[in-house]
Amino acid sequence: MFASGFIRAHGRHDGAVSKDAGATHPSLDELLATAHVVRLPMATRFRGVDHREAMLFEGPHGWTEFSPFLEYPDTEAAVWLAAAIDFGWSPSPAALRSSIPVNATVPAVDAAAVADIVARFDGCRTVKIKVAEPGQRLADDVARVRAARAAVGVEGRIRVDANGGWNVDEAEHAIHALSEFDLEYVEQPCMTIDELAELRRRVKYMGIPIAADESVRKADDPLAVARAGAADLLVIKAQPLGGLRRALDIVASAGLPAVVSSALDTSVGLSMGAALAAALPELDYDCGLGTASLFTADVAAPGMAPVGGRIPVERVTPDAASLAALAAPAERRQWWMDRLTRAHIELYASR
């Protein structure tokens, strides 16, 4: 897994505080001193949850976020912690743009709910629709994508994300079924790199690009998908890849176009994603950084919800009132404190 490889290469330093390329590694006590655990309510159930939990803390360069999904092991969480520390304790790379175009994101909902969800994303011209949901059929995906196309019109852009939920034959069949909606690309249709390469070979004549997400952020070698010719573009996320600089290095080495996406972050985490997108030499696609619109409350106002289809490139400072109103229950705060402690040990403790 990428997590264990990242820690072998970049983590496990002696001592609580050390120097690496000019960045300070904060002690656990420093992180805990400003830590807040929040629980954001969602407008629509997504990834099986109605609330998104995250830990926020303030570094010398501003607020940052540590929010690995609840089921992720400590080794993987440690990579997300490295990203949080990188963003809070280091200056961001030079920004090449001041705002980022973003897409709307539609969970695996009933087709009748799609228009209302798209309407939450002000001015977005691109929609990403979740497909291949366990327990659903291809007919459900087709209906959902059809509703999204109707919502954005003929000039809008449609992309789908299967999260590796199909095998090669299923993916080929699904792409044929969905091709009438003029797909911009298909994200992670199959889970393995070999499957992606085979599928890309089969559907190349259709002119529909294949994007890799999990094959980058969950792989022991995030460049393997590019070397195998298994994708036309990469979907990159700052936290799962260990920070802005690590993600930029991966894109540069892969030599493929990149789409920056979120991991259902709060507006603080989205500002990290915006900094990553702003630093890319080329930005050919709308980014998946509009997901603040999936929440009914956030840690900052106005936060990072899209306006006119774009979000600004700026650091976000949470509102004290919002931090208080969205504070997680005491037992959940303790759970995150314990998780932070374990992730910090994974990242910085001696072998």
pLDDT tens string for the chain (351 positions)? 556 666 655 554 332 333 344 456 899 999 999 999 999 999 988 877 899 999 999 999 999 999 999 999 999 999 999 999 999 999 999 999 999 999 999 999 999 999 999 999 999 999 999 999 999 999 999 999 999 999 999 999 999 999 999 999 999 999 999 999 999 999 999 999 999 999 999 999 999 999 999 999 888 899 999 999 999 999 999 999 999 999 999 999 999 999 999 999 999 999 999 999 999 999 999 999 999 999 999 999 889 999 999 999 999 999 999 999 999 999 999 999 999 999 999 998 743
Tokens (6 digits) for 204? 């190349």
Q: 213 labelled as ligand-binding?
A: yes
Q: Taking Cα atoms as reference points, which of 290, 292, 303, 302 lies closest to residue 104?
A: 290
Q: Are 10 and 82 in contact (CB under 8 A)?
A: yes
Tokens (6 digits) for 17? 């505080």
Specify the pTM: 0.93
Q: Catalytic annotation on 204?
A: no
Alpha-carbon separation of residue 333 from 53, 54, 185, 328 (angstroms): 10, 10, 39, 6
The predicted pLDDT at position 14 comes to 32
- Spatial separation of the C-alpha atoms in residues 312 and 242, rounded to whole Å: 22
Asked if 120 and 80 sit in the same domain, the reply is no
Asked if 73 and 128 sit in the same domain, the reply is no
Asked if 67 and 105 sit in the same domain, the reply is no
Asked if 71 and 148 sit in the same domain, the reply is no
CA 122 to chain centroid, in Å, comes to 20
Asked if 201 and 107 sit in the same domain, the reply is yes
- Spatial separation of the C-alpha atoms in residues 238 and 259, rounded to whole Å: 11
Asked if 13 and 44 sit in the same domain, the reply is yes
Q: How many domains does the chain have?
A: 2
Count Cβ atoms below 10 Å from residue 149 Cβ, excluding itself: 21
Q: 161 labelled as ligand-binding?
A: yes
Q: Taking Cα atoms as reference points, which of 239, 104, 205 lies closest to residue 158?
A: 104
**CATH number of the domain that residue 192 is part of:** 3.20.20.120
Asked if 32 and 111 sit in the same domain, the reply is no
Asked if 177 and 239 sit in the same domain, the reply is yes
Asked if 108 and 204 sit in the same domain, the reply is yes
| 283-297 as b/e: b if 16+ CB within 10 A | bebbbbbbbbbbbee
The predicted pLDDT at position 22 comes to 44
Asked if 114 and 222 sit in the same domain, the reply is yes
Q: Taking Cα atoms as reference points, which of 88, 97, 70, 72 lies closest to residue 3?
A: 72
Q: Which domain holds residue 8?
A: 2-92+321-348
Task: Calculate Rg over the CA atoms of the chain.
Answer: 19
Beta-strand pair 126-130/157-161: parallel
The predicted pLDDT at position 89 comes to 97
Single out the catalytic residue among 19, 128, 204, 237: 237
Q: 37 forms bridges with which residues in the sheet?
A: 55
The dihedral built from the CA positions of residue 246, 247, 252 and 255, taken in this order, carries a sign that is: positive
Q: Are 309 and 56 in contact (CB under 8 A)?
A: no
Asked if 332 and 243 sit in the same domain, the reply is no
